[in-house]
Amino acid sequence: MASNAPVGKPTDMSAPRLPKVAGIDSTVPAPPHTAAPLPGVPPAAAPSDAVLPPGVLIQDRLASWVSDLTTLHELTERLIKTSSLDGALREVLGAGAALVGARRGMAVLEPADGLGPTSTIGLGLAHADLGTIETVPRGSGSYGRLLDGLPEAGPTSTRPSSTRPTRVPEPIAIRDVRTEEGLDPRHREVAARLGYAASYALPLATEEAGGLGAAVWLYDEPAEPDERRRHLIGLYGRFATEHLARLLQVERARVRVATVAEELLPSRLPRVPGVRLAVRHLTGPQGGGDWYDALPLPEGALGLAVGSVSGTGPSALAAMGRLRASLRAYAVMEGEDPVAVLSDLELLLRLTEPARSATALFAYAEPAQRRIVLAGAGHAPPLVVGDRRTEFVETSLSAPLGMLTCWEAPSVELSPAPGETVLLYTDGLLRRTGDATDRAFARLHAAAASVPGADRSDPGAVADHVLRTLLPEDLDPTVEGEDVVLLAARFE
């Protein structure tokens, strides 16, 4: 009977299905940006009448995705290791050139809020080439059009969020400078002179970070990146913009801190007969409490001081300013006795800021007699540099200010020979080397001993040589934030 016939399966369930690969439903179409391979990589050959199995197509697309993700991961990993704006811009240029298939380019940092800093970095372009490109009218150049259309920088803008523009400009591709409509004749002239025929410009902007600048890559022949390359450089550009925004905030904070620190320190060094002075002061991004002072005292004497307050940031700067001002007062009253000066400073610090400690070194100098009396509180010993000797001054050991109930350590006296330079410095100079303390002292001694004879007559040249030798460019980033003070006094 018909009623007893078995019930058949629905047609859509019994129809054959395409195989699955790695758990991915093969019927789901691939995103369009992964469809085209990178130029220069030929597709696998297949007979004209053959049809590739869907699984093979999926595997190819998955391999393309993995390749793209691996490339972006490697490039972003390299980018996040940069710690300066110029270094990050150079990395962006190099990575972008690989992604869009160009050989040369330039990046312009020009925050839309107008607060700076500004910078222009080239890839494969000399400084003169960058200047030549900048002669192109801003409205004709692709990067100039992007900069003029960028919104204000979000994190630093003072405008209400409801009124800030959030539109991010689209990249600008010029496939052929010779035939592109609307270009200024100067643009074509510069392109011919520098030998590029096409360009691709990318805004360094996001809705969160705002507009920070633009990057443009130059092709030797008429060309433009395909859809896949555009997608990759777009992803990388958004990540790069966020990284640049963080570095920009750090740089602006460092400049503000350095400005405040410089205002709290002497605006110029005094001129005292018989001695020449020079100072070098490096401020870290967070701003520490390292300081120095040089003040003329009665009867032709000179007071020299260096010190460091514990902590970083505005509170350390404020404490440094108060400590330096107090030391000046004590030096005027009893400068000929450095122990008394530091004892008064210890009492003041213990009563006014019991939670803070500080190191300090004060020297009472009589240049006419080439005589120095000094005392230190937890501070590194001075270094005497001359033609016949380079040696540390033997000072008595003592704890930093604020660490004892009552501080007192004996002073020491030294007599520099004519032409010798006495170097006073803060611990930041040693810590910035990244070495252990004993090795840092040894490196400082070696750097001072290697000062060329022609530079020994100039205290500024002595200080520059020591810094240049002791603090190489590949400085350990974990200690890069230390403040440094180096005060040089050359006795005639």
Whole-angstrom distance, CA of residue 300 vs CA of residue 320: 27
Q: What is the pLDDT of residue 480?
A: 52
Tens-place pLDDT, residues 378-410: 899 999 999 999 999 988 778 888 876 565 678
CA–CA gap between residue 230 and residue 68 (Å, rounded):
12
Higher-scoring residue by pLDDT: 317, 158: 317
pTM of the model: 0.65
Indicate whether 87 pLDDT > 80: yes
The full DSSP string for 414-426 is: E-PPTT-EEEEE-
Helix H or strand E segment including 333: helix 314-334
Query: Which of 145, 143, 140 is CA-nearest to residue 125?
Result: 143
Q: Read off the pLDDT of residues 6-63 as tens digits, 9 standing for 90 and up.
A: 444 444 433 344 333 333 333 333 334 333 444 433 444 444 445 656 677 787 778 8
466: confidence class by pLDDT, cuts 50, 70, 90? very high
Q: Is 213 exposed, middle or buried (0-12, 13-18, 19+ CB in 10 A)?
A: buried
> Looking at domain 65-256, does it have CATH number 3.30.1240.10?
no
Residue 406: predicted pLDDT: 60
Q: What pLDDT was estimated at residue 37?
A: 44
Using one digit for the tens of pLDDT, what is the confidence trace for 235-272?
Answer: 999 999 999 999 999 888 878 877 887 788 888 899 99
| Distance of alpha carbon 78 from alpha carbon 107, whole angstroms | 17
375 Cβ neighbours under 8 A, 6+ residues apart: 338, 339, 341, 342, 361, 362, 395, 409, 410, 411, 412
Better-scored residue on pLDDT, 404 or 358:
358
Count CB-CB contacts under 10 A for residue 231: 17
DSSP 8-state code for residue 460: H
Show the tokens assigned to 392. 């540390």
**How high is the pLDDT of residue 317?**
83
pLDDT of residue 219: 96
Residue 405 vs residues 322, 324, 396: alpha-carbon distances, Å: 20, 21, 18
Mean pLDDT, residues 413-419: 94
Cα–Cα dist 74/330, whole Å: 58
E-assigned strands of 228-300? 275-282, 288-297
Residue extents of the structural domains in the chain: 65-256, 265-491
DSSP β-ladder status, 119-123 and 275-282: unpaired
Nearest to 307 by CA among 402, 395, 376: 376
Cis ω for the linkage preceding 117 (within 30 of 0): yes
- Rounded distance, CA 313 to CA 257, Å? 8
Whether the per-residue pLDDT at 178 is higher than 50: the answer is yes
CATH superfamily of 265-491: PPM-type phosphatase domain (3.60.40.10)
User: When comparing pLDDT for 437 and 54, which is higher?
Assistant: 437
Which pLDDT score, from 0 to 100, does residue 474 have? Answer: 46
Q: How far apart are CA 363 and CA 395, in angstroms?
A: 12
Token duo for residue 376: 């230190």
Report H helices in 54-126. Answer: 54-80, 85-100
**Which residue, among 260, 253, 241, 135, has the nearest Cα to 194 in the 3D structure?**
135
Predicted local distance difference test score (pLDDT) of residue 285? 63
C-alpha 455/C-alpha 342 separation (Å) is 34
Rounded Cα–Cα distance for residues 337 and 374 (Å): 8
* Exposure string for 379-413, b = 16+ CB within 10 A, e = fewer: bbbbbbbbeeebeebebeebebbbbeeebebebbe
* Mean pLDDT (the chain, rounded): 83
Same fold, 65-256 and 265-491: no
For the segment 442-467, the average pLDDT, to the nearest whole number, is: 95
Q: Which residues contact 247 (CB under 8 A, 6 or more apart)?
A: 82, 83, 84, 85, 88
pLDDT at 304 over 90: yes
- Separation of alpha carbons 390 and 375, rounded Å: 20
**C-alpha–C-alpha distance, residues 75 and 99, integer Å:** 10
Each residue of 419-430: pLDDT tens digit?
999 999 999 899
The pLDDT of residue 150? 55
Instruction: Look at 30-34, 176-180, 443-447, 450-454 and tell me which has the smallest mean pLDDT.
Output: 30-34
For helices 227-264 and 85-100, the axis angle rounded to 10 degrees is: 170
